[in-house]
Amino acid sequence: MDLCRKVSVKLTLHDPDEDVEVYRKSGLMGLRRHKLLCITKEAIEQGALLSYEDIAFILTSSTATIKRDMATMRRTELTIPTRGWRHDMGRGSFKSVRDLIAHIERFVSNYNPQAKPFVWTATADSILEKLQRLCQVIYGTQH
- pLDDT value, residue 104: 76
The pLDDT assigned to 97 comes to 77
Tell me the per-residue pLDDT of 113-128, one tens digit each, with 9 for 90 and over. 666 777 778 888 888 8
Q: Is the pTM of the predicted complex or chain greater than 0.85?
A: no
3-state secondary structure the chain: CHHHCCCCCCCCCCCHHHHHHHHHHHHHHHHHHHHHHHHHHHHHHCCCCCCHHHHHHHCCCCHHHHHHHHHHHHHCCCCCCCCCCCCCCCCCCCCCHHHHHHHHHHHHHHCCCCCCCCCCCCCHHHHHHHHHHHHHHHHCCCC
